A and B are shown apart, each in its own frame.
Chain A
C-alpha cells in the first residue's frame, strides 16, 4: 500500500497539480502574458500619464514606469477632483447609472419571469423574447432626435431624470433577456408548490423565484450599470450643463488651450474605473450577458 504513495509509481492518484510546465506550455504561457500586456497597455499608459508632472508628459523615457522612469505625483488627480464640474459629473453619472439600472430591473425582472414561466398564446414567448432582444440592437442615433424634442417639450432637457428614463430604455431588453434565462434554469416545481399552497403569482415570484434568481439579477444589474455609465450619445443629446455625465466631462478635456494629456488621463481613469470594477464583480455572468444569453459561459 505504501508503494502507491511513492512518486513515480503506478499513477493511481490524479496527476500532481504542482508539476513543472513543459517547454511548449511555458512558451504558450509567455505568449499569453505578452498578449494580455498588449491589451492592458493603454490602461497602464493612462495611469502612467496621470501620475506625471505635466512637463514630463512627452519627455519620459521607455515605458514610463513610475519610480523608475519618473517620480510619480498625485497632483493631477488632486487638481481634477477639486474641480466642481468633475464632482458634479461623478455625482450625475452615479445617480443616472444607478437610477436607470434599478428602473430597468424593476420593469425587466417581472417581464423576464413572465417570459420564462407563463405561456402567451397570441404571440409565442419565443417571439416576445426576440422582440425584446431586437430593441437591444436599435441604433441610439435613430432615437436621439425624437428624444431631444420630447424632452424639450416636457422641459426635461439637461436633467438627470431624462437621462435615467432614456438609459433605462436601452438597458431594459438586456435585463429581460438575461434574467429570463436564469428563471428558465430554475425548477418551476418550487413555485408550483407555493401556488398550490395558496400563494398568489406575485407571491410565488417575489418569495420563491426571485430570491433564488437574485445572484443573476444582481449581476445583470451590475452589467447594465456599466452600460448606462458608459453611455455618451444620450448624454450629449440631453445634457448641457447641469446633468453632464463623466463621459461628457471627459469630452470637455479638449479645450482651446489644446489637449491636456495629464488631465485627460486622470479623467479617463475616473471614467473607466467604476464600470470596470462593477463589471468584474459580475464576472461569472459576463459571457452570458454580453451574448444576450445565447452562449453560456
Chain B
C-alpha cells in the first residue's frame, strides 16, 4: 500500500524546489568559479519622442516631434574563462589565510565554551531547584533573538567609554585579539542556552534508577558524571557539536554588526570575506571559488558526522 506511485506526488515538489533553489545556484557558482567576472555599468542614452498627457507626440513648430533623452543604466557582467586561477589565488591570498585563521580561532573559542557551559548549566538545572520552568523558559530567549540585533546590542555593552562593562578596562572592540574574543562572547551568549536546553532534555531522559544504582554501588558524583552520564549523552554531544560547528563556520552576522570585521581585518570571518568579495567588490568569480572552499569544509564535517548520525533518522 505504501509503495503507490502517489508517493512521488507528495515528495517531488520539495525535491524540485531544492534542486531549483539550491543545486542550481550551487552549480551556477561552480561555473562562475572558473571565470573572472567583471561587472560594468553601461550607460545608454536614447532619444524618445515626448508625449503629452493624451499620449500624442508633442511637435516642434517645424512639425518634427520633440524628443527627450532617456538615460538607462545597465549592469553588465563580462566573464572570462580563467580555469583554476581563482582557486590558485584562494590558496595564496593572505586575506583568505587571515580569514581562515580568524574563523577557526573563533570556532575553537566559541564552540567548546558553549558546550561546556551548556552542560554545566544543564547539570545545575537538573537538580531540584526553585521555579525551574520559569528559569528554563527565560534561558530560551537568547536562542531566538535576532543575531544582528544581538550583535548591535553587545556593541552598546562592550562600549569602552561608559558601557556597562567599561569598568573592566578591557579593550573589547579596539584590540584585535579582544575583538575576536568579543565576537565569540556574543556567540556563546546566544548559543549556550541552546546547548543547555538540549543537554537538559537529554539529562531528564536518563532514568533515575541508573544514577541511583551507581550511587548505591558507591560511585562518587564525579564517577557518575564521567562513567554514567557522559557515555549516555555521547550521541547528543555529537549532534550538538555537529550543529554548532556547521553554524559557527558560517559566522557572518556578528562580526558584520559588532566589529565590521575590524579592527583592520582582525574579525573578518571567512563568510564575511566571501560576502564582501562577491557583493561589495563584485569579484563574482573569485567569491564563488571562496564560497566553494567553505562549502567543501562544511560538507566534510557533515559527512563525517552523518555517518554516525544516520541511525537516528532510520
Contacts and interface: CB of A to CB of B under 8 A. Distances in A.
A146 B149 contact: no
Nearest to A43: B141
Interface residues of B, number: 103
Task: Name, among B129, B149, B294, the residue most crowded by chain A CB atoms within 10 Å (CB to CB).
Answer: B149
Contacts of B144: 226, 230, 272, 275-276, 278-280
A35 interface: yes
Contact of A291 (B240, B246, B314): B240
Contacts of A226: 144
Interface stretch (B12-20, B57-65, B220-228): B12-20
Label chain B's interface by main secondary structure: helix
Contacts of B2: 117-119
A220 B277 CA distance: 35
B306 A31 contact: no
- Helix, strand, loop or mixed for chain A's interface? helix
Interface stretch (A5-13, A74-82, A132-140): A132-140
Contact of A279 (B26, B143, B294): B143
B150 A33 contact: no
Nearest to A26: B130
A141 B141 contact: no
Closest 7 CB pairs of A and B: A58-B162, A118-B7, A111-B14, A114-B10, A146-B25, A271-B149, A279-B144
Interface of A: 21, 25-26, 28-29, 31-33, 35-36, 39-40, 42-43, 45-46, 49, 57-59, 63-64, 107-108, 110-111, 113-115, 117-121, 126, 128-130, 132-135, 137-150, 152, 165-166, 168-169, 172-173, 176-177, 192, 195, 200-202, 205, 226, 229-230, 232-233, 236-237, 246-247, 250-251, 253-254, 259, 261, 264-265, 267-269, 271-272, 275-276, 278-280, 283, 286-287, 290-297
Interface of B: 1-4, 6-11, 13-15, 17-18, 21-22, 24-26, 28-29, 32, 75, 77, 121, 124-125, 127-132, 135, 137-150, 152-157, 159, 161-164, 189, 192-194, 197-198, 201-202, 205, 235-236, 239-240, 243, 246-247, 249-250, 252-253, 256-257, 271, 274-275, 278-279, 284, 287-288, 291-292, 294-295, 298-299, 302, 306, 309-310, 312-314
